Amino acid sequence: MLAYSSISQIGYVMIGILAADLENGYASMLTYTFIYIFMNLGTFARITPFSLRTGTDNIRDYAGLYMKDPVLTFSLVLCLLSLGGIPPLSGFFGKLYLFWHGWKAGLYISVTVALVTSVISIYYYLKIIKLMLTKTTNPVDTLKTYEKQKSLVSSVISTKLKSSVEMAMILCALASTLSGLFMDPIIKITWNTFF
C-alpha cells in the first residue's frame, strides 16, 4: 500500500514541476518534498521493524498494535495522517502550498485529480489507523506471538539498532507534526533557494 502512496506523492510533486517558474512551482515542490521525506521515513521506520519482528507484511497483523507498542503506534498514526494531509500536520500545509501554486499556474485538472486522490488516500490511511487502534479478536495470543517473535528478532538485531530506528521514527513523527506549525521559515528558505 505504501508503494501506491509513494506513486501518488510523486504525482503531487509533478504539479510543482509542471507549475515550474510560473507560480513558485519549484519552491512549492521543494517544500513538499522536504516534508514528504519526514512523513515517509517515519512511516517506513515503523513498518520495517514490525515486519522484521513478525516476519510478515500483512496489514491485518497491525490489529491492536497500540496495546503492544503505544508510543510507536502513535508516531505511525501521526505520519500516516500527515501523509494524508490532515490539518494541522505538515502534510496538509505542504499539499496546500503545492496545490495552491498549481491552481494559480492554471493546472486545474491536475490539482483536482490530486485532491481527489488525496481524499481517497485518507480513507485508506484511516482504515489502517482504525485497525491499529482496535482490539484483535484474541489479543492475548497475538500479544504472546508478538513478544515471542520480538525476542527472537532482538537476538538478531542489536538493541542499539532497534532503539536508533525507534528514535528515528519518533523524530520523523515530530518533524511531520511540527514542521506544519513552522511552515513560514521553510517556505522562505525554499523561496530564497530559487529566487
pLDDT, tens digit (0-9, with 9 covering 90-100), for 80-97: 999 999 988 899 999 998
- Do 29 and 13 meet the contact criterion of CB atoms below 8 Å apart? yes
* Parent domain of 56: 2-194
DSSP 3-state percent helix, strand, coil across the chain (nearest 5): 85, 0, 15
- Identify the pLDDT of residue 56: 76
* Residue 140 confidence class, pLDDT cut points 50, 70, 90: very low
- Identify the pLDDT of residue 129: 93
Which of residues 53 and 134 earns the better pLDDT score?
134
Over residues 92-115, the pLDDT tens digits come to 999 998 999 999 999 999 999 999
Count how many Cα atoms sit within 13 Å of the Cα of residue 1 in the half-sphere of its side chain. 18
Closest CA to 84 of 120, 124, 122: 122
pTM: 0.80
Residue 86 to residue 74: CA distance in whole angstroms: 15
State the amino acid at position 189 in one-letter form: I
- Do 168 and 41 meet the contact criterion of CB atoms below 8 Å apart? yes
State the amino acid at position 116 in one-letter form: V
How many Cβ atoms from other residues are within 10 Å of residue 57's Cβ?
12
* Number of domains comprising the chain: 1
C-alpha cell at 3: 508503494
Q: Is 109 exposed, middle or buried (0-12, 13-18, 19+ CB in 10 A)?
A: exposed
**Mean pLDDT taken over the chain:** 80
Q: What is the mean pLDDT of residues 52-71?
A: 82
- Identify the pLDDT of residue 75: 86
Task: Look at the alpha carbons of 182, 28, 174, 75 in this order and tell me if their dihedral is positive or negative.
Answer: positive
Residues 6+ apart with CB under 8 A from 14: 110
- Identify the pLDDT of residue 81: 93
* Residue 123 confidence class, pLDDT cut points 50, 70, 90: very high
Per DSSP (E only), the strands in 61-139 are none
